[in-house]
Structure 1
Amino acid sequence: MTKKLHLGLIREEKVPHDNRVAFTPLQCKWIMTHYPGVTITVQPSTGRCFSDEEYRTAGVQLAEDLSDCEVLLGIKEIPTDKLLAGKTYLFFSHTKKKQPHNRGMLQAILEKNITLIDYECLVHEDGQRILGFGFFAGVVGAHNGLLAYGERTGTFKFKRVHECRDFRELITHYFGVKIPPIKIVATGSGRVTAGILEVMGLLGIKYIPPEEFLINSYAYPVYTQLKAGELYLRKTDKTYSREDFHAHPENYDCKFLPYVTASDILMNGIYWDKNIEPLFSWADLAKDNFRIRVIADITDDAQGSIPCNLGDGTIEEPVYDVNRFTQQKLPPFHEEGVTMMCVGNLPNELPRDASQYFGDQLMKFVFDELMKGDSKMIAKATIAKGGRLTEEYAYLGEYVEGK
């Protein structure tokens, strides 16, 4: 017997506005073709990267009222007055780390008897996250970091990413661009860093091993990559274990400091937790040998691994400067400043590509699990159900109560 399921793609209502979507029009068409019991309804939106007409042309119905849908899919947090009672929702709730600004939303989810499945909590058996927009965050963040350096130094110019229709058009923009002999250090090894390295490759920026990068100068642009095991070593025996590091990050020292004297641009894609030592300190930033002039903090944790991240810029105005001595925010490209590129919704600059990639992962690894009804993967990612926090997320109880 074919299982019936009515899915709804909700309109993004959070401010600032998000233009991505969980499934593209063609992905919706594919699902309904291969799963005859599945119906998809899309809530109309003038701000979505795929138009209502594109969905209509793909044979997807549009309706303002999604009350007939059992499962609703979005991207970002949902205003409390837009939540439909008794439904199952999938979106990035940003509540698992007890983010204060989303407490009210989680309270409303519990009050309205909503089942919340958080994309961020969907993982493979080995614990690796399934879904995310990290690759395109890395692409856009690397581009914006280079763009800022070009503007700051007057050495080259880049087109803004959001002025391109898609990634393919952005790539054509790179033809013939001459990057001066700068040194770029990239941190991390996940999806974000993969996006950074994609841009390095497209621009012909040469990889240099870390130990050579530190001591040599080059007549052409170069970059190096520092994975967690090269950045963090255990205080006792100077070794690195991924499992131990994530369980006990406070036992590890950060080894990034030598790179502040050898790099022009830092592109940060490293995972961060409040117990992880930052890459450098404010005191380091104020020293004469601090060479870095542009920091693209793509993972974007305010005052996190980058202490001079003083909060988000926007897609329209992605950069600001930070005074190295007074620790105050300044207009971009100030003489005493380090230029910061910190934007929380970078994939919105390539929303069609980012949505296509996200929907592909959702279809390959999650959709069948969602259809099962008794999936361990889905259960592990379910934060709330039946008006209560699930056992996995019971630790959020005090957060919900405001304690």
Structure 2
Amino acid sequence: MTELHLWLRHEVRSTERRTPLVPSDARRLVEAGATLTVEASPQRIFPIEQYEAAGCAVAPAGSWVAEAPREAVVVGLKELPDEPGALTHRHVYFGHAYKQQPGAPELLRRFAAGGGALLDLEYLVDDQGRRLAAFGYWAGYLGAALAVLQHRGRLTAPLTPTSQQELEEVLRPVAGDEEFTALVVGALGRSGRGARVALRAAGLDPTCWDLDETRNLDRPALLAHDLLVNCVLATSPVPPFVREEDLDDPARRLRTLSDVTCDVGSPLNVLPVYDRVTEWTEPVRRLHKEPPLDLIAIDNLPSLLPEESSTGFSGSLLPLLLEFGTGGPWGRCLERFRQACRELGIEEGEARRV
């Protein structure tokens, strides 16, 4: 591999337990010739000692700002801290900045100001546009699992990280549980597959919709289900699945809505009936009193199964990091960043030297 310095940063979000790179895969990168610096992080599911044993250098949390060499590639998952105002490095993480989300223009201008670049993991795709590294399966799994627990009155807060085995033990139906219907929209994708697995672990046989069923949406049929798990991430405008006027519909049976996608704030949001996500401390929000409708919309669901989800994601990301460069998937990432900058009137030359 060409000379590569990766800098695995600490996550500023207190509920983020995941990592994009687990120690065993870090070892493979070091053995392949990469330099890997890992910031200490008390919340990361894997302790820093495992990275040290894998041959990584260790740095204090947040030190990338002042200490990471300019050529280093800073790797993370969720949002960056608000400072510095000018971002000089290439950053690999989920930026959520290309679909007019709140704060997106300000983030992209921070990169332009420092000559850095966003290599957004959501846009790390093959030449057919398929995602190459994703947490979707576990997001769908957890979105469905939490919805079932809420619908059965067994969801407790605050949420805490667990394991798949422990979660499935509480998902199993018990005597006295009422039967109900569940619908997964986007059932054929990664998230939809995870949602279906969780619902079946809970003893349910969900209705499964995908493109064919949503192309000409049967909204009354959708609202006739008791529980809905949305796994659709729209890339072009589509009619919303649930509208404000649907909340007042007395015929609505839908009582629990789990939005795995959490595309809140985007004009492409297929569930424009809420304006902010829910949190681990308060995972459920009542959207409507009568007939009742409860919402779960947590935007880092896989962090509730941090070891399983990190291991799967890291395994997908590793071969891409081993081939890191300006072509292929990484080149497509960079071009998508430059396109977003051009849409804001930022000159390409400002948007990095890569």
Find out whether 1:390 has 2:344 as its counterpart.
no
**How does 1:215-226 map onto structure 2 within 5 Å?**
223-226=206-209
TM-score where L is the length of structure 1: 0.76
Report the equivalent of 1:307.
272
Deviation of 1:336 (Å): 4.2
Count of matched residue pairs: 338
Following the alignment from structure 1 to structure 2, what is the Cα–Cα distance between the partners of residues 383 and 79?
A: 24
Deviation of 1:187 (Å): 0.4
1:350 to 286, 289, 305: 305
Deviation of 1:397 (Å): 2.5
Report the equivalent of 1:318.
283
2:246 to 284, 291, 294: 284
Give the AA of the match of 2:20: A
The answer to whether the 8 Å contact 2:145/2:171 transfers is no
What secondary structure is seen at the aligned counterpart in 1 of 2:49?
helix
Deviation per CA, 1:299-347, whole angstroms, max 9, x where unpaired?
1233732232342110121101122xxxxxxxxxx55421111111211
Task: Sort the Cα spacing of 1:87 and 1:284 in 2 relative to 1 into closer, same or farther, 3 A.
Answer: closer
The answer to whether the 8 Å contact 1:25/1:54 transfers is yes
Deviation of 1:27 (Å): 1.5
The answer to whether the 8 Å contact 1:162/1:350 transfers is no
Following the alignment from structure 1 to structure 2, what is the Cα–Cα distance between the partners of residues 191 and 161?
A: 27
Following the alignment from structure 1 to structure 2, what is the Cα–Cα distance between the partners of residues 381 and 93?
A: 12
Find out whether 1:165 has 2:162 as its counterpart.
yes
**How does 1:1-400 map onto structure 2 within 5 Å?**
3-13=2-12, 15=13, 17-33=15-31, 35=32, 37-64=33-60, 65-66=63-64, 67-68=68-69, 70-82=72-84, 86-151=88-153, 157=154, 162-163=159-160, 165-174=162-171, 177=174, 179-188=177-186, 189-206=188-205, 223-233=206-216, 254-261=217-224, 263-272=225-234, 275-302=237-264, 304-323=269-288, 334=289, 336-364=291-319, 366-370=320-324, 373-382=325-334, 390=338, 394-397=342-345
Give the AA of the match of 2:273: C
Deviation of 1:393 (Å): 5.2
Task: Sort the Cα spacing of 1:38 and 1:184 in 2 relative to 1 into closer, same or farther, 3 A.
Answer: same
Deviation of 1:396 (Å): 3.4
Task: Sort the Cα spacing of 1:354 and 1:399 in 2 relative to 1 into closer, same or farther, 3 A.
Answer: farther
Following the alignment from structure 2 to structure 1, what is the Cα–Cα distance between the partners of residues 110 and 15?
A: 21
Deviation of 1:80 (Å): 4.4
Following the alignment from structure 1 to structure 2, what is the Cα–Cα distance between the partners of residues 224 and 19?
A: 32
Following the alignment from structure 1 to structure 2, what is the Cα–Cα distance between the partners of residues 161 and 125?
A: 41
Following the alignment from structure 1 to structure 2, what is the Cα–Cα distance between the partners of residues 83 and 38?
A: 29
Structure 2: state its 5+ residue gaps: 349-354
Deviation per CA, 1:196-220, whole angstroms, max 9, x where unpaired?
01112323323xxxxxxxxxxxxxx
Following the alignment from structure 1 to structure 2, what is the Cα–Cα distance between the partners of residues 361 and 148?
A: 32
Following the alignment from structure 1 to structure 2, what is the Cα–Cα distance between the partners of residues 379 and 164?
A: 35
Deviation of 1:63 (Å): 1.2
Following the alignment from structure 1 to structure 2, what is the Cα–Cα distance between the partners of residues 374 and 298?
A: 32
Deviation of 1:16 (Å): 5.8
Task: Sort the Cα spacing of 1:27 and 1:264 in 2 relative to 1 into closer, same or farther, 3 A.
Answer: same
Following the alignment from structure 1 to structure 2, what is the Cα–Cα distance between the partners of residues 20 and 164?
A: 10
Give the AA of the match of 2:278: G
Report the structure number with the largest CA radius of gyration. 1
Give the AA of the match of 1:278: P
Deviation per CA, 1:37-62, whole angstroms, max 9, x where unpaired?
21211011122222223323444321
The answer to whether the 8 Å contact 2:38/2:59 transfers is yes
What secondary structure is seen at the aligned counterpart in 1 of 2:294?
strand
Following the alignment from structure 2 to structure 1, what is the Cα–Cα distance between the partners of residues 170 and 56?
A: 34
Following the alignment from structure 2 to structure 1, what is the Cα–Cα distance between the partners of residues 79 and 152?
A: 35
Task: Sort the Cα spacing of 1:93 and 1:139 in 2 relative to 1 into closer, same or farther, 3 A.
Answer: same
Report sequence identity in percent. 24
The answer to whether the 8 Å contact 2:73/2:89 transfers is yes
The answer to whether the 8 Å contact 1:309/1:342 transfers is no
TM-score where L is the length of structure 2: 0.85
Which region of structure 1 is more displaced relative to structure 2, 184-193 or 278-287?
278-287
Task: Sort the Cα spacing of 1:204 and 1:399 in 2 relative to 1 into closer, same or farther, 3 A.
Answer: farther
What secondary structure is seen at the aligned counterpart in 2 of 1:26?
helix
Report the equivalent of 2:351.
none
- Consecutive aligned runs of 4 or more in structure 1 exceeding 6 Å deviation: none
Give the AA of the match of 2:254: I
The answer to whether the 8 Å contact 1:80/1:105 transfers is no
The answer to whether the 8 Å contact 2:252/2:291 transfers is no
Following the alignment from structure 2 to structure 1, what is the Cα–Cα distance between the partners of residues 281 and 158?
A: 11
Following the alignment from structure 2 to structure 1, what is the Cα–Cα distance between the partners of residues 244 and 94?
A: 32
Deviation of 1:126 (Å): 1.1
The answer to whether the 8 Å contact 1:98/1:396 transfers is no
Deviation of 1:383 (Å): 5.3
Following the alignment from structure 2 to structure 1, what is the Cα–Cα distance between the partners of residues 156 and 25?
A: 30
